[in-house]
Structures are given as C-alpha cells and as structure tokens.
Amino acid sequence: MATNWVDKQLQGKKKTGPMPMPHPGDPGYSLNEIAQRQALGYKPPVASNSPGSGIDASDRMKIAGGTHDIVSPPVAGSQLPTIDPLGDLNEIYKQLLTSLSQSPTVLSDKQIRKLAEDQIKMQFDPQIKALKQDMAERKQRYASNKAEVQDLYSDLANQYRSERGNSTNAYNDAQAYNDSLRTNTDAEMQQNYQNSLDYQTNEFNKLGIGDVAQVNFPQQQQDLQYQQTLNNAEADAFDRYLAGGEASAQDYFSKMAANAGYHGAETIEDLLNELNSNLDNSSSQITQLRGQSGTALNSLILQIQQQQQQRLAEAQQQQFQNLLNAGKFGMDISQQRWAMDPNNPSNQKAASQRVPTSGLLGATQQFANLPDPQKMLGVFQQLLATQPFLENNVMSKGGESIKLSPPQAAQYAVQMAQQMGLSPQETSALYNAVFAYFGQLGR
C-alpha cells in the first residue's frame, strides 16, 4: 500500500524536502519505511530521547496495527491534496482490528508434557546415567577383583604346598645329617675299640701274656655295644624329634593350603557383599531420583500450565485493552465521519464553506499557511500514531496511567517538534493543531 506521504515520494523517486529520519521503533514508522528512507540517504537524528522512545516498538506496532499510513487530510481553502483521511484512518482501524485476532501461541497438554519431560530428562538423566555407569563399573571391577583374589589365594595355597615340599626336603636333609652323625659316631666308636684291641693284642703278645686279652675283650666288646646302643638311642630320639616336626609341618601347611581356598572364597564373598551393597545403594538412589523426577515432572507441568494460563490471561487483558482502544478509535473515526457527513445538521448550513475547527480536520487547518503544510500533516499523523495518542489519549508515566490532557498532549507535541528540529513557526502550528484536535483551540 503506497498511500502515505513517504510511499508517494518513493514512487516518485525524488525527495521534495527535508524529511525526518526516524529510529527503528519510532512511532509512526514501519521498519520497511525506515529502510526506504535510509535508501534515500536520510540519517537518523542524534537525539535519543524522542517521544515514545521508551515504549517498546513491538507494542507500538501491535497497538497501531502495523505501519501508520496516515495520509494528509483535505483542508478547505488550502492547496493541500484532497485525500479522504477517513479512508486511511479506516485502514489503521482495520489493522488494529487485525491485531486483535492475533492470539498468543497456546501449548497443548501433550506439548507441555513433552517440554517438561525434556527439561526433567536434562536434569535427572545424567545423574541416573552416572549411577548406572558406576554400577556397571563396579560389576566389572568385581569380576576383575574376583579373578585377582582367586589368583592371590590360589598362589597362597601353592605357597603352602610348596612349603610342604620345602619342609620335607629340610626334614630329609636333617634326617640324613642325623644318620650321618649316627653312622660316623658308630663307626668311630667301632674303630676306636678296634684300635684299642689291636693295641692290647700287640702289647700282651710282646709280653707273652696274650691270654689276658681273652679275658679283657668280652667286657670291652660289651661296653662298645652299650656305647653304640646309646648312640643309636640318641640318634633315634633326634630322628623322632625331626619326624614329629615334619609331621606337624606337613599337617600345618596342608591345612593352611586348604584354608587359603576358604580365605579366598570368604574374601570373594566380602567383595560380592560389598558389590551388592553398593548396587543396592545405587539402585535405591536411581529409584529415588526417578521418584523425584516424576514429582518434578508433575510440578513442572503444573508450573508451565500456570505460566501459560497467566500469559493467556495477560494476553486476554491486553487484547481486551486493544479492543477498547480499537473501539474508541473507531468511535473517533465515526465522530470524524459524522463531522464530515453532509447529513449532519451542523454541516448542512454551509458544508462547503465551513472551516472545521476541531478534530483532525480542525488540526490540519493550522498548517494551511505554513511553507510546507504537507510535511506538517505528516508530522501530525506521526503524533497521532504515537502511543499516548493511540491509547485514547492516555499516557503512561512512571508505570501509572494518566489521562492525557490537551495541554499535556500539546507539550508532548512540542517535545516531538523539537526532536524533529521543526522551526518555531512549525512548532507553534503543531501546538495549536493539538488543541484544535481536542476542540479546545481558543478556549
């Protein structure tokens, strides 16, 4: 739609005079329009505290129903273009109504559940996964430890069996040593006696008393046997000592080898108990987490539903406010239309000569004698499209809604004129136009 001043200028591919360059979000300008102006070489003003700059652009667009294509109204007795302003106001009105049908997105219960489930999964799944991984690692570690413990105690049993062999070897060595002592001593005794007998035989034969030997020797033989018996008895006693020690060692190491297996089994059982305890603990934690996640899911679903209800309620409230705005705006248009209607008795007398003094037409009269009335009409259209005016002349100040009185509106218009760099004459005309708009000019 190219019915506004800017679009008309753009269609003509020329700029006819100084034109304000708005900021994005400034009242009365669509982003498209701003882009078009930038394309024509206009730069935005430096001042940042323009009227309505503190108001969110999207809200303004929402309330205004999009871009504000307010056109120049016809002014009787002037050179202004004769375009029906009501038609364009109707267009704004239609856009405003269109915005009313735009309701916020509503999530279904299924979507809310999916949203909540995703969020809960993000929170709980890593913990549960970590616990499951820990359980798997513990099982794996148990299997590994079990094998190691089996090896350990198997080796211990082998060590005991090995000690049995070592003990037997030591016993055999000790027994052989004792036997050697026995044999050597026995032989030594035998040899000593034999030497003695030989000595006596020689000595007695030399003396010619060899018969004496026959008397002496039996006693000496008997003594030798006695000594040998003592020697054997002591050796046997030592053998018994060794054998007793060996039997004890064999018994000890055999039992210890068997016990090593029991120790291994007990240790593995301890490990298994510890594993089961840990697994139970982890399972319990997982169950607890799942329970918590279920509770958290229900809570989150409820929270999202409440938020959505609150958002819907706010949207309905806003929609209702917009509806009120639209209704009042429509009433304003109707009033304007009635003011221009030939059937209006007040217009029947001299409708063609009558110069309107109030409303939009009354306001436009204030620009008729300016050098560039069309520019001022554009400025006034912008003014009307700003938030305070769109909201039925109610302006928000410090979070508190106040009724916009004509002097306040005029002051607001002066601020806007200063921001746009208008001349004193233009500013004054804009100031008067506001009073005319409210029908209070000259009062």
The correct pick among 33, 88, 91, 163 for binding other proteins (CB under 8 A) is 163
Of residues 312 through 341, those in contact with other proteins by CB under 8 A are none
CA-to-CA separations, 80 to 113, 160, 329, 375, 376, in angstroms, rounded? 61, 120, 25, 11, 11
Closest CA to 250 of 140, 172, 364, 302: 172
Tokens of 440: 């209070």
DSSP state letters, 20-54: --PPTT-TT--HHHHHHHHHTT----S----TTTT
Q: Which is nearer to other proteins, 53 or 150 (CB)?
A: 150
Tokens of 185: 């001593």
* 121/119 Cα distance (integer angstroms): 5
Can you tell me the distance from the alpha carbon of 422 to that of 248, in angstroms, rounded to the nearest whole number? 122
Residue 216 structure tokens: 């002496």
Residue placing its CB nearer to other proteins in the complex, 230 or 402 = 230
Q: Quick one: 167 or 325, whose CB is closer to other proteins?
A: 167
Cα(41)–Cα(21) distance, rounded to whole angstroms? 9
Taking CB under 8 A as the criterion, the residue among 29, 124, 193, 431 binding other proteins is 193
Q: What is the per-residue binding string for other proteins in 232-271, x denoting contact by CB under 8 A?
A: --xx--x--xx--x---x------x----------x---x
CB of 285 to other proteins, least distance (A): 21
Our finding on whether 278 is near other proteins (CB under 8 A) is no
Does 273 bind other proteins (CB under 8 A)? Our answer is no
Single residue of 207, 343, 349, 443 touching other proteins by CB under 8 A: 207
Scanning 21-29, 58-66, 198-206, 378-386 for contacts with other proteins by CB under 8 A, the matching segment is 198-206
Q: Give CA–CA dist 297/302, Å, rounded.
A: 8
* Cα dihedral 2, 3, 4, 9 sign: positive
Please say which residue, 212 or 324, places its beta carbon nearer to other proteins. 212
187 contacts other proteins (rule: CB under 8 A) = yes
Which two three-digit tokens encode residue 326?
């639209």
> Shortest gap between Cβ of 306 and other proteins (angstroms)?
50
CA 360-361-364 angle, 5° bins:
90
Query: CB of residue 219 vs other proteins: minimum separation in angstroms?
Result: 6
Instruction: Tell me which residue has tokens 């405003």.
Output: 96
**How far apart (Å, rounded) are the C-alpha atoms in residues 378 and 72?**
7
Whichever of 31 and 258 has its CB closer to other proteins, that residue is: 258
Site for other proteins contains 181 (CB under 8 A): yes
Residues near other proteins (CB under 8 A): 145, 148-149, 151-153, 155-156, 158-160, 162-163, 166-167, 169-170, 173-174, 176-178, 180-182, 184-185, 187-189, 191-193, 195-196, 199-200, 203-204, 207-209, 211-213, 215-217, 219-220, 223-224, 227, 230-231, 234-235, 238, 241-242, 245, 249, 256, 267, 271, 274
